[in-house]
Chain A
Amino acid sequence: MTIALKTTDLARTFDIGKRLIGPPRAQVHAVHPVSLEVRQGETLGIVGESGCGKSTLARMLVGLLPPTSGTIEIEGRALDRADPAAFGRLIQYVFQDPVSSLNPRKTIRQIMEVPLRLLHGMRGKALDDRIAELFDAVNLRPEFLSRYPHEFSGGQAQRIGIARALAASPRILILDEPVSALDVSVQAQVLNLLADLKAEFNLTYLFISHDLAVVEAVSDRIAVLYFGSVVETGPAEKVFAAPRHPYTKLLADSAPVVGRPLGGAQSGELPDPLNPPPGCAFAGRCPRASDRCRAEVPQLRAIEGDQFAACHHPRDD
């Protein structure tokens, strides 16, 4: 199995309260060093709550945001400069808000032409043929090309967003909450389309979402993010069925399921990013927390088979 995407200790800090000269007032570690491997043809699901660093990680992976430290390799090639155009041919991004990702003042054709012209130098008939081919792949009618973004429903706009990403002929797609803005009946249309495209174009996916059930349904492996760190990774069928990290367990128990009584006793909030706790970031909410947890940051380690967790006292039931 070849590795499609590999990150080594990829991290990002943001300066808070920048001054004209001198150091910033404070720093926030949005993503702690993350090392991930995504195999060719695989779908890696990334779950976590708002503010846990999902989008920051994704934006580094496509070169929109330079990392503070660490490296990114795509198919064995290191991309060491945050240059979206260089990344663009290998890895593309599908945005959460389908309508806001399309420039309201351009027609769909104008939007579709850009990656084909700039990344692949296409012109004339080749260009038109390729656009028609892409539109066909995402099941959209060619007459949509002359319309403006506001004329489309969320589901249609998201298909256009996917077609634009595919226009760059990338090897990897980062899907950042691609169906969160859509209704359930339309959500599945887009998810199934993504599954077909993956097989057709031999793609690798990073699927980011806060909806655990959706992630579980589409992923081969899942990585759980908490407070900027990967706290658990493993095969999709195991991560939520038999969580090792107490936070994964909390997530799985919070998802509303018909017939399950309301939990409720679970309380607590995320730690203050400006003033992070010294040990495990989850210690304040964790039923298993010990003194060791409050002093020592747990590292990601193999618990059983290919299931990894960053926890001093992983669950084993």
Chain B
Amino acid sequence: MSLFLRLLFRNKLAGFGAVVLGIIVVLALLTPILPLHPPNETNTANRFLRPLSEGHLLGTDHLGRDLLSRLMWGTRLSLAVGFAAALVAGLLGAAIGVMAGYFGGRTDNVTMRGIDMLMAFPYILLALAIVAVLGPGLLNALIAVAVVNIPFFARNIRGVTVGIAHREFIDAAKLAGMGHTRILLTEVVPNIVPVVVIAMSTTIGWMILETAGLSFLGLGSQPPQADLGSMLGEARSALITAPHTSIVPGVMILLIVMSVNLLGDGIRDALDPRLRSGALSRPMATTRVERTEATAPKGEGLLRIDDLETQFHVGPRIYKAVNKVSLDLKPGECLGLIGESGSGKSVTALSVMGLVASPPGVITGGAVRLEGQDLIGAPYELLRSLRGRKVAYIFQDPLSTLHPLYRIGDQLIEAIRVHEPVSHAEAHKRAVKLLEDVRIPNAQARARAYPHELSGGMRQRVGIAMAMANDPDIIIADEPTTALDVTVQAQILALLDDLRRSRGLAILFITHDFGVVGQLCDRVAVMYGGRIVETGPTPEVLAAPAHPYTKRLIACVPELGGGRRVLAAIPGLPPAVDKLPEGCAFAPRCDKAQAACRQGEIRLTGTAREVRCLYPERAT
């Protein structure tokens, strides 16, 4: 709750809205005990008194009634009716949405068709029709406004409920013996309350306005009762001669609707989980860089990463996701980067081209050199011209780089023409050739498919084709086969291996699977807690791991053909990179740890085989 308030008031406009609305609501609540004239007391002798007249701060209307008093009572009524309408629409709409979304099938079909029918009518026409049937009156106006807003809530909430109803915890609740009612009340509803609150807070302003509109037309509150709409309506005939009678309620409506909407937007932003974690600011085009100077290159290489440090600054916490990582990639080489989730593999890969999201990402040190040129802090234009042309990425989920609404052929053509000024026909020919190169059967026809029409394996082939579109020198593949089935994985790995050998591609291959590294990579680097703990030629590292972590991780991997057995495990958990222990990050889980392991910095030693350990498994 306090987090919610903090987030809410970080947004200045929302804070302003909250203050204005707060004042109005408090005044409206206090109205009965304020020393005001009775709102309906007529005094035709004092018609149309100007504001600041004696005894009538805001003047009087065409019947000589005190405007201030009518304004306060009117505001009170308008607010009450608006809130009531929002509450009714929100609760009924949410109830309908929850039922339709949870039960699905026929219930869903029938109710949502009904809702669609309601929505087919123009909004205000529907409200007018309802009042016409029920007859004018404030209560009927309230009903009309609530009814026309129900579909909005029902649709929204239904969508959210469908998502929740398919979550696994609902199945778990059924298996734990819960009936539908109990599941709806204790599992579904608590999860949709924020959505209902967001929807209400963003629509309540319009509902107040709509009720005022109906009263303005004489269909809402009936004389002599004042609400903001009817005050405006009655003042209409004296618009020229006594403008203040219109301006007073008009300004109040403006203030209410504006402050409610500002506050509503603020509430939405504060409750929205996507906006909650990051700042409300827009992400930067490239990763923020805060380093004092570039590390000197430690050697040759097509791509050299030297002492790279990438951190996430989240509030007071600093996550050292990548901590002085050095890697190098020669032309035509495949380097494997292996480690468990959270070890910093992806952040390393994304740092190369400045793709780490900022905020919260910051590159705080080191250098990344492509053919000798430092890329850290390079201008966005330069990085963009290199992306795809020199260095291309393949991700675990190819959908993250494919646009769902364009045909894959067109996306390839686009990718080709970004970097090369070729004709559309020429680009099309090349796109089809690329699809053939990644062994997509029937490439000519498949080029017209949309991403969602392809299977996971085919999509990843398209992802590879996209990466190959501008004939890059380097491919950075971040777990490209993790989401695929074994038979498809085997096909994709073979394809990558072929492409690399036929085109002399260098590949940085990120994975958590030793089997994959063993089949594809020449060299391997093992990461733990944001650091490289061991590197070397793949066969040697796999056959005789030097770092205790590597050794025990390999022992955990079950291999096919071993029969039924007890599997090795590493007790404990990988370290949190915002609370790294001093000394060796693996020490809490290492059975060889000594006192010396827990202090100072442990260096990476060795040349062809490097290891970061005081007591390695074998001499290096």
| Interface, chain A (partner B; CB < 8 A) | 18, 20, 49-50, 59, 62-64, 84-85, 87-88, 92-93, 95-97, 100-106, 114-115, 118-119, 153, 155, 161, 164-165, 167-168, 183-189, 191-192, 195, 210-214, 216-220, 236-237, 240-241, 250-267, 269-270
Contacts and interface: CB of A to CB of B under 8 A. Distances in A.
Interface in B525-574: 539, 542, 552-553, 556-571, 573-574
Name which of B341, B518, B558 has the most chain A CB atoms within 10 A of its CB.
Answer: B558
Contacts of A119: 176-177
A97 B573 contact: no
B487 A186 contact: no
Contact of B178 (A114, A210, A214, A266): A114
A260 to B, nearest CB: 7
B586 to A, nearest CB: 11
B493 interface: yes
Contacts of A92: 175
Nearest to B457: A269
12 contacts: A50-B485, A64-B174, A88-B176, A184-B556, A186-B570, A187-B569, A213-B557, A217-B562, A217-B564, A219-B564, A256-B489, A269-B458
B573 A155 contact: yes
A227 to B, nearest CB: 13
A218 B564 contact: yes
A50 B482 CA distance: 13
Given A118-B178, A183-B340, A188 B563 contact: no
Interface stretch (B25-33, B149-157, B494-502, B577-585): B494-502
B417 interface: no
Nearest to B563: A237
B489 A254 contact: yes
A212 B498 contact: no
Contacts of A213: 557-560, 562
B178 A153 contact: no
Interface string B571-599: 10110000000000000000000000000
B485 A49 contact: yes
A115 B177 contact: yes
A289 B569 CA distance: 42
Contacts of B186: 106
A115 B176 contact: yes
A93 B171 contact: yes
Contacts of B489: 254, 256
Contacts of A84: 171, 174-175, 177
A90 B428 CA distance: 59
Interface in B486-536: 486-491, 493-495, 497-498, 512-516, 518-520
A20 B486 contact: no
Contacts of A184: 340, 512, 553, 556-557
A210 to B, nearest CB: 6
Contacts of A18: 105, 109
Contacts of B35: none
Contact of A104 (B176, B191, B553, B561): B191
Nearest to A59: B171
Given A185-B552, A187-B556, A211-B558, 4 more contacts: A119-B176, A185-B574, A237-B564, A257-B518
B190 interface: yes
B168 interface: yes
B187 interface: yes
B487 A49 contact: yes
B495 to A, nearest CB: 7
A119 B176 CA distance: 7
A254 B176 contact: no
B187 A262 contact: no
B175 A87 contact: yes
Contacts of A253: 490
B167 interface: yes
Nearest to B494: A264
Contacts of B553: 184-185
Name which of A213, A219, A250, A260 has the most chain B CB atoms within 10 A of its CB.
Answer: A213
B567 A263 contact: no
Nearest to A96: B168
Contact of B564 (A85, A101, A216, A267): A216
B515 A255 contact: yes
A282 to B, nearest CB: 11
B567 A264 contact: no
Interface of B: 105-106, 109-110, 113, 167-169, 171-179, 186-187, 190-191, 340-341, 439, 455-458, 485-491, 493-495, 497-498, 512-516, 518-520, 539, 542, 552-553, 556-571, 573-574
Given A101-B168, A104-B191, A185-B340, A266 B491 contact: yes
Contacts of A96: 168
B187 A103 contact: yes
Contact of B490 (A64, A155, A266): A266
Contact of B486 (A187, A192, A251, A259): A251
Contacts of A59: 171
Nearest to A155: B573
A186 to B, nearest CB: 7
A256 B340 contact: no
Contacts of A93: 171-172, 175
Contacts of A104: 191
Name which of B190, B488, B565 has the most chain A CB atoms within 10 A of its CB.
Answer: B488
Contact of B172 (A95, A153, A240, A260): A95
Contact of A264 (B490, B560, B565, B568): B490
Contacts of B557: 184, 213
A269 B179 CA distance: 41
Given A88-B177, A118-B177, A262-B490, A183 B512 contact: yes
Contacts of B497: 262, 264
Contact of A216 (B191, B512, B563): B563
Nearest to A262: B494
Contacts of A192: 566-567, 569
B485 A186 contact: no
Contacts of A106: 186
Name which of A168, A262, A264 has the most chain B CB atoms within 10 A of its CB.
Answer: A262
Nearest to A183: B340
A183 B512 CA distance: 8
Given A20-B113, A168-B175, A251 B567 contact: no
Contacts of A254: 486-487, 489-490
A192 B565 CA distance: 10
A196 to B, nearest CB: 10
B518 A258 contact: yes
A100 B556 CA distance: 26
Contacts of A102: 169, 172
Contacts of B569: 185-189, 191-192
Contacts of A259: 518, 539
Name which of A85, A161, A265 has the most chain B CB atoms within 10 A of its CB.
Answer: A85
A79 B282 CA distance: 56
Contacts of A265: 494
Name which of B172, B495, B498 has the most chain A CB atoms within 10 A of its CB.
Answer: B172
B487 A114 contact: no
Name which of B173, B489, B495 has the most chain A CB atoms within 10 A of its CB.
Answer: B173
A64 B559 contact: no
Given A114-B173, A250-B487, A263-B494, A105 B564 contact: no
10 smallest CB-CB distances across A and B, nearest first, come from A264-B494, A256-B515, A258-B518, A118-B177, A188-B569, A49-B485, A115-B176, A213-B558, A101-B168, A84-B174
A303 B562 CA distance: 23
Name which of B106, B178, B498, B512 has the most chain A CB atoms within 10 A of its CB.
Answer: B178
B318 to A, nearest CB: 20
Contacts of B567: 187-188, 191-192, 217
A87 B171 CA distance: 12
Name which of A255, A256, A262 has the most chain B CB atoms within 10 A of its CB.
Answer: A256
B273 to A, nearest CB: 10
B181 to A, nearest CB: 13
